[in-house]
Amino acid sequence: MIQVVCAVILRDKKMLIAQRSEKMKLPLKWEFPGGKLEEGESEEQAIVREIKEELNIEILPVKKISSHVHDYGDFKINLIAYLCDYVAGEIKLLEHQDYKFVEFDKLLDFDLADADIPIIEKLKILL
Ligand SMILES: Nc1nc2c([nH]c(=O)n2[C@H]2C[C@H](O)[C@@H](COP(=O)(O)OP(=O)(O)OP(=O)(O)O)O2)c(=O)[nH]1
């Protein structure tokens, strides 16, 4: 099972979602950006590293939202989500093909990765 951390990055009450490129797994799906946890890293360290690598920005993890297993059939992930503040930097798309800041009520209008749906359920309670 792959351990994946992802960030729900808040700015002006909107949340950042990013669209996976055609070359990535789950092509063109929207997601909360992040990636695989590496050995020896804390979840917070991994999320800060991944967001710098993928979007060129600094974030601050504020609160763990959820952790749950999702089975895509050919692979299985444990998706760990953190609510994060946007700290600094200008967004550059280094891996994804697009991004948007979206109000909570609009998140489900996007074709999100299946594993991300439970995160939105949890967010509803937190926000
Ligand atoms: N980052 C991220 N991955 C997600 C989400 N939902 C979801 O199902 N996934 C899946 C897609 C990928 O199969 C896996 C994460 O892999 P990744 O490709 O983003 O991670 P990575 O950058 O560390 O991977 P790699 O290309 O270096 O191998 O988890 C999500 O919200 N964020």
**Average pLDDT score over residue span 93-106:** 97
33 has pLDDT over 90:
yes
β 76-88/58-71 pair status: antiparallel
The residues facing 4 across adjacent strands are: 36, 79
Sequence letter at residue 34: G
127 has pLDDT over 90:
no
To test ligand 1's pocket by mutation, which of 31, 54, 59, 68 has the most ligand atoms within 8 angstroms of CB? 31
Which CATH topology does 2-126 take? Nucleoside Triphosphate Pyrophosphohydrolase (3.90.79)
Please give the Cα distance from 40 to 1 (Å, whole number).
17
The pTM of the full predicted model, rounded to 2 decimals, is 0.95
Q: Where in the chain are the domains?
A: 2-126
To test ligand 1's pocket by mutation, which of 1, 2, 3, 4 has the most ligand atoms within 8 angstroms of CB? 4
Mean confidence (pLDDT) of the chain: 97
